[in-house]
Structure formats: C-alpha cells, structure tokens
Amino acid sequence: MSVGSGSTGSLLELDRLSVRFLLGRRGEVRAVTDASLRLERGRVLALVGESGCGKSVLASALLGLLPANAQVRGRAVTGDVELLSAPEQVLAERVRGRRIGLVPQSAGTHLTPVRTARSQLVEAIRALGSGAGPDELAERVGLRPDELDHYPHELSGGMAQRVAIALALAGDPPVLLADEPTTGLDRPLVHRTVDLLAETAADDRAVLLITHDLTAAKRVATDVAVMYASRIVEAGPAEEVFADPWHPYTAGLLGALPEGGFEPIPGHPPALTELDRLEREWGCVFCQRCPSGSCTGDPELRAHGDRWVAAHPPC
C-alpha cells in the first residue's frame, strides 16, 4: 500500500479525508482526521483500531451514508468518481454495489428472513444489472448451488456470511468494503470468512477490511493502517508493521494479544470532542498514554520508505 496522492492503478484512494459531527452547543466530534490511504488491486488493507476511533465513520463517508450533521473534507476517489462530492444519485447508481460492495457486520440479520438466499441474490443481480449468475456467485464463495435454496434460518453462520459476501459481489465491484465482518463469529469461522475475503482480493479486486480483530488482520492483511482517536497513526506492509511496530500505539495493540502477553497500554483513548484542544496542548493526542518518551508531537503521518508513522519515527 501507499499513503498519499499521485497513484496509478489504485482502486480506491483517500486523500486527507476528515469528518466532523457538529453537535450545536455541545461542540464537535472529530471522528476522522486527515486519513490518506491507497488501496491497490489484489491487496487486503486492514484498518484496525479500538472501538470508537472512527473506522466505521470513514467507511460511511466513502459510501455517502453519513448523517446530515456530518461535515466532510478531503478527497476519496474510486475510478472516475470523487466520492465525497458525488451526488446521491451517482453514489446509488454507480458506486454502492457496483464499484464498492459492502460486506455487512452481521450476515444473519442482514438477510431477509422470509426469502431464500437464491431469491435475494437474483434480486441483487437484477437490480445491479450485472452479468453474473447466482450459481456462479455461490461457487465463488464456496457454496454449493443447492445451498442457495435455503432460507436464512436454515443457514449456518458461516453459510450466511458466504451468502452476504456473494451479495456484495453481485454487482462485480472492484472494491469490497467489509466493516467488522466477523462480529459474533467463533474463531474458526472468523478465519474462514477473512480467508474468503482474501481470496476475492486475489481475484483482481481489493478489500478494505475494517476490524478491531488484530488476529484476523494479521492472518490476511497485505497492508495495515492503524487508527487512534480519529487519525491513522501508522500504516504500511502488514508483515513489517506487525513484526516491528514503530508507533507505541500499534505496539500496544499487539501487546494486548495473547502472543503479546495480554499487556495493553494503560488508560483510554481521549474523548473525540477533546482532540482539538489536546492537539493544541500536546501536539500528539496519544502522548498522555505514550510509554516511549520519544514523541515528536507531530500528528502528521510521515513516510519512511514504504512505511508511514506519526510522531514516532523509527530511530
């Protein structure tokens, strides 16, 4: 992955995407700040970070699904569409399902209970006007065609998740956006689901996998971006970042895993209404939790080769 602008051949590119929610007299929530990312063909980019850091808001911004009190800045380009300024009609007719397929959080509740998987798939194919057939899509996600004739309550969790991914693929979108696609699944099923997403990426697409499940991210991501308090604080090739994190927050997330010895960083992320003040006072909003003592106080994500880090450059 690369962060920044001036791409060739990327399927999705974000350039300083920022989102604030205006709360009137209660101030503002800064949910996403200057997020720059590039998603290339064949790649799985995991966007990781604790609950509430802004991952889902970033995803909603790309799909034009933010509420009216959201103020959006920056650029996000897929194909010839600039997503942040595109009218709703363009997003509805050309982007959602066609350029960006959405894999839902909970497949079980996403499917309509009174209709078979096949009829839902056929309807999606018809609505999106794509050339794929239901059996072909079933096969692509590892389902037997006859399994499509089940109603959602007859599907196992894993089969429902496969149907949901088949639905996301119905319009043959080059990009899949999966926001916490493994919520509520047990570990083997988490692995099968993310493996399937990785296979779809290998099939000439790209996947943006939003998750707080570091184990799942480690398993399939080719690239990773770590988000803390609305900002991406570190990004780069997944293998390198996971093996040798530069930002102390990334190190803390990895330290909280079983293999890291269950040692999370003490404290909590700051309230998102306080970020402007904290950055004015400290530079870096992580500083109050920062064990490293080497913070430059510069919140900008800076490049060092193909890796990016804020405030804590490699020494």
Ligand X SMILES: Nc1ncnc2c1ncn2[C@@H]1O[C@H](COP(=O)(O)OP(=O)(O)OP(=O)(O)O)[C@@H](O)[C@H]1O
Residues within the interface to ligand X (CB under 6 A) = 21, 29, 31, 49, 51-57, 67, 69, 212, 272
Min CB(146)–ligand X separation in Å: 36
Angle at 94 between CA 46 and CA 107, to 5 degrees: 50
> How far is residue 80 from each of residues 10, 213, 223, 234, 243, measured CA to CA in Å?
12, 32, 24, 28, 36
Q: Angle, to 10 degrees, between the axis of helix 187-202 and the axis of helix 157-169? A: 20
Are residues 197 and 276 in contact, defined by beta-carbon separation less than 8 angstroms?
no
Of 118-126, 254-262, 266-274, 291-299, which part binds Ni ion (CB under 5 A)? 291-299
Pick between residue 120 and residue 230 the one whose CB is nearest to ligand X.
Answer: 230
Min CB(32)–ligand X separation in Å: 8
Residue nearest to Ni ion (CB): 295
Min CB(28)–ligand X separation in Å: 9
295 binds, among ligand X, Ni ion, none (CB under 5 to 8 A by kind): Ni ion
Are residues 95 and 63 in contact, defined by beta-carbon separation less than 8 angstroms?
yes
Are residues 240 and 62 in contact, defined by beta-carbon separation less than 8 angstroms?
no
Are residues 195 and 225 in contact, defined by beta-carbon separation less than 8 angstroms?
no
Residue 285, interface with Ni ion (CB under 5 A)?
Answer: no
Min CB(182)–ligand X separation in Å: 12
Please tell me the count of residues contacting Ni ion according to CB under 5 A.
5
Pick between residue 103 and residue 137 the one whose CB is nearest to ligand X.
Answer: 103
Pick between residue 49 and residue 104 the one whose CB is nearest to ligand X.
Answer: 49
Pick between residue 39 and residue 284 the one whose CB is nearest to Ni ion.
Answer: 284
Pick between residue 54 and residue 108 the one whose CB is nearest to ligand X.
Answer: 54
Min CB(297)–Ni ion separation in Å: 7
Residue 290, interface with Ni ion (CB under 5 A)?
Answer: yes
Using CB under 5 A, pick the residue from 124, 170, 287, 310 that binds Ni ion. 287
Min CB(56)–ligand X separation in Å: 3
Pick between residue 134 and residue 270 the one whose CB is nearest to ligand X.
Answer: 270
Q: How far apart are CA 298 and CA 312, in angstroms?
A: 8
Pick between residue 9 and residue 24 the one whose CB is nearest to ligand X.
Answer: 24
Q: How far is CA 2 from the centre of its chain?
A: 15
53 binds, among ligand X, Ni ion, none (CB under 5 to 8 A by kind): ligand X
Min CB(291)–Ni ion separation in Å: 9
Q: How far apart are CA 308 and CA 9, in angstroms?
A: 20
> How far is residue 87 from each of residues 17, 90, 91, 96, measured CA to CA in Å?
17, 5, 7, 12
- For binding to Ni ion (CB under 5 A), which residues are involved? 284, 286-287, 290, 295
